[in-house]
Amino acid sequence: MYNKMYRKLTRKHFLNTINHTKRFISKGYNHTKTFLHHMDNGVNFAKNVFSILEPVVAELSGMDTSGVAKKLVKGVSMYDEVKARAVDGHSKLSEAAMRINSL
């Protein structure tokens, strides 16, 4: 009798642990995805603001802003490369999760 009860508790505890782990990973993943989405919106907003204000600042200040523009373009291209790798990783993880769920 004790052995049967112990097995039920162990199985229940094990399943509870698996479900808790899945929820923890899922919440962390969703929070990270939301944060990165907001960051991407901020970067796109900053790019638009710079593209609008750069000619105005160059005209009013009389300074050469090409150095700043080059560095900004380089930074944005590096950001886009990292973003592309992250999107690729996300799609691979989604495919793997679908395969695991179909088992």
16 CB-side CA count, 13 A = 6
pTM more than 0.75: no
Go through 30-49 and write b for each residue having 16 or more CB atoms within 10 A of its CB, e for each that does not.
eeeeeeeeeeeeeeeeeeee
Query: What's the domain range around 72?
Result: 2-101
Quote the pLDDT of residue 2.
56
pLDDT digits (tens, 9 = 90+) for 5-60: 666 668 888 888 888 988 898 899 889 999 999 999 999 999 999 889 888 888 88
Q: How many domains does the chain have?
A: 1
